[in-house]
Structure 1
């Protein structure tokens, strides 16, 4: 999986986008990357509901005002997902880190007897 900057990518035809992505992946990972099993892309910059990417930047004060509600537990439910990550939000790494955070919160809750 890779992300490309919409400003320099979305305007190209699908075949040209595929060519460019495969070319760069081949440069990074060698000849096996030249023959992907499958290829799909999505032009985030053209999406009506998420312009600019899968993790668009919220407006001023949105994160500091409402961000805590993305991960605040509700009863026994704890939230995890890339959007709740402290670091690298919007990435697979952010998703993993948020899962580890939620697991630690749950473990602390069990260990304290607050279940």
Structure 2
């Protein structure tokens, strides 16, 4: 309760500041907070993009493996709609060509 009644007890320099200085300092702090939030969002976005690339590569590898198994055992295990989606311009099933992006 004492901290609520004397909020500047731990920050005596705030007692010396005028209202205008306090407002300016609050604006600076808000700006710093906004910049930190922006940086954190950008880091999180980069992580998501990286993970999405990894998952895409895993999916393409699984499709390539399924295609190899189909060919080897003369099976049809890949769903038709997925097969159509992964067909390249020459009519070949090629998920690697269709989806794999070069890594920077």
TM-score of the pair, normalised by structure 2? 0.27
* Structure having the larger proportion of residues in helix: 2
- Greater radius of gyration (CA): 2
- Of structures 1 and 2, the one with the larger relative CO (CA 8 A, separation 6+) is 2
TM-score of the pair, normalised by structure 1? 0.25
